[in-house]
């Protein structure tokens, strides 16, 4: 199998390296990723400035652009003669749950692949403490990468994704001590939680107002009812699943206008 991978944490991120190493055990892997962190850029494309590439000693290609730029450039120029079986993005440092997918560069890169008919999976490691440099953090990413490989080889999920146009599979893996602590996998819907404090206002050293945007959720809304999660797969959200120790698999469909919405709005202007 041929895989193309990218991320929004940058070409040197430990999650990207772990994903590359794990996927290399089951196929050929090409890496095209931003040369610096691009979190929160969604599926933005650089159409007013040129892109430049730099190949690292590892063979990874770094691009001075967004994650979507990387996928766009890879599919149409850098690897235009390669037929990819799947584009996988991540492993993101931190969760991409609920409405956060709208802003996520990890998800945006996967979406870009799906727009061109390539099956796409966006992957994230949940937990606020995964951005460190130590070996303990590297092992968490490796565990998550191994779970992604298991998902691909132990289930027919990739074949299913090939038959779901305009869908991205959004995968969130709980940040647990070992794979033995993962309780299983759940198919989930995207949650919608209130943001605790969307904007943080501060004053910079020159006395100017500065603003820091945040997506951090209210903690009381993130608590899962574990007994419900154990017994039900109906209306289960991604936040509930990972809080209970499950890998969350959320199929997200883009560019879909419901027929009933078209009908109801047409009636208003007819």
Structure tokens at 20: 């590359």
The DSSP line for 50-97 is ---EEE-TTS-EEESS-HHHHHHHIIIIITTT---SEEEEEEEES---
Per-residue pLDDT, averaged over 158-176, amounts to: 92
Q: Given this model, what pLDDT does residue 226 score?
A: 44
248: containing domain: 2-190+226-261
- Please write the tens of the pLDDT for every residue from 106-125: 999 999 999 999 999 999 99
Q: Given this model, what pLDDT does residue 227 score?
A: 43
Model confidence at 193: pLDDT above 80: no
- Please write the tens of the pLDDT for every residue from 199-251: 888 898 998 988 878 777 665 554 444 444 444 455 789 999 999 999 999 99
- Please write the tens of the pLDDT for every residue from 19-50: 999 999 999 999 999 999 888 888 899 999 99
Q: Does the residue 196 lie in any domain? A: no
Residue 69 belongs to domain with CATH number:
3.40.1210.10
Q: Does the residue 220 lie in any domain? A: no
Across all residues in the chain, what is the average pLDDT? 87
Residue of 123, 110, 118, 113 whose CA lies nearest to 18: 123
Q: Given this model, what pLDDT does residue 126 score?
A: 92
Model confidence at 139: pLDDT above 70: yes
Q: Does the residue 62 lie in any domain? A: yes
Q: Does the residue 204 lie in any domain? A: no
Model confidence at 80: pLDDT above 90: yes
Q: Does the residue 116 lie in any domain? A: yes
Q: Given this model, what pLDDT does residue 77 score?
A: 96
Report helix, strand or coil for 88.
Answer: strand
Model confidence at 135: pLDDT above 60: no
Q: Does the residue 203 lie in any domain? A: no
Q: Given this model, what pLDDT does residue 209 score?
A: 87
Report helix, strand or coil for 38.
Answer: coil
Count of domains forming the chain: 1
Q: Does the residue 257 lie in any domain? A: yes
- Please write the tens of the pLDDT for every residue from 244-261: 999 999 999 876 677 788
């Amino acid at each position: 199998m041929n895989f193309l991978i990218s991320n929004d944490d940058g070409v040197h991120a430990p999650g990207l390296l772990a994903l590359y190493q794990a996927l290399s055990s089951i196929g050929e892997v090409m890496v095209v990723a931003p040369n610096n962190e691009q979190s929160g850029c969604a599926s933005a494309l650089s159409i007013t400035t040129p892109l430049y590439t730099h190949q690292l000693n590892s063979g990874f290609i770094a691009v001075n652009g967004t994650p979507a730029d990387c996928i766009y450039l890879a599919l149409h120029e850098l690897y235009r003669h390669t037929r990819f079986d799947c584009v996988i993005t991540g492993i993101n440092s931190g969760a991409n749950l609920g409405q956060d997918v709208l802003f996520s560069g990890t998800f945006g890169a996967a979406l870009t692949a799906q727009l061109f008919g390539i099956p796409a999976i966006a992957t994230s490691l949940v937990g606020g403490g995964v951005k460190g440099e130590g070996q303990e953090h590297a092992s968490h990413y490796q565990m998550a990468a191994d779970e992604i490989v298991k998902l691909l080889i132990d289930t027919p999920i990739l074949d299913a994704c090939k038959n779901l146009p305009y869908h991205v599979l959004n995968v969130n893996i709980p940040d647990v001590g070992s794979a033995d602590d993962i309780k299983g996998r759940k198919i989930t819907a995207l949650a919608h939680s209130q943001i605790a404090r969307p904007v943080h206002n501060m004053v910079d050293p020159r006395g100017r107002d500065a603003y820091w945007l945040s997506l951090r959720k209210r903690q009381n809304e993130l608590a899962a009812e574990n007994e419900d999660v154990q017994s039900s797969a109906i209306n289960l959200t991604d936040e509930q699943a990972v809080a209970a120790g499950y890998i969350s698999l959320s199929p997200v469909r883009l560019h879909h206008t419901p027929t009933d919405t078209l009908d109801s709005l047409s009636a208003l202007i007819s």
